[in-house]
Amino acid sequence: MKTKRKFSMVGRPPKFREERKPVTMTLPTRVLEILRAVDPDRARAIAKLATAADFRLTGRKSVEIVEVAPGRGLIVVAKNLSLEGIKGLHLVEIAPARYLITVQKNLSVESLEVQLRDKSEDAGEKSEDHKFLSELLTVIRQQRRGRAISKEEVLVINI
């Protein structure tokens, strides 16, 4: 008497327990070698590196002051779409998922604060955008009140 095998899955078992989507991409050979060093399975390597870069999972703050010289620091943030549309503000990626805030000469710190406050209020109190913008506003406000904030020029090359 032959028994039939029952399979609950069709194809290979999933690598990840969360929702997933197939993706096709072309990468430089150098990047493929780096991925191979992280994990022989490319998908797992990419997932590991993405997780490591996610500030929410690394304990890294989404807004922080990074000391760049004795007694001198820069505001560094995680990318947040709520910063888009703020006139005169630009983000410059300085490390994976870490951005330097740059502002145009004619944008005052006070004007920047007003725009950030407006965006924060529009975001809704329970949203991630509101939380992020509140953190950024707190940093800027504290530095302004302590007269510790200044604007200096940074050379940015358009390529």
Identify the residue with better confidence: 137 or 159.
137
Report the pLDDT averaged over residues 136-153: 92
- How does pLDDT run across 67-96, given as a tens digit for each residue? 988 889 999 998 888 998 899 999 998 887
Counting other chains too, the contacts that 91-95 makes at CB distance below 8 Å and 24 or more residues apart are: 92/154, 92/156
Report the pLDDT averaged over residues 48-75: 82
Tokens 């290979």 locate to 12
- What is the structure's pLDDT at 9? 54
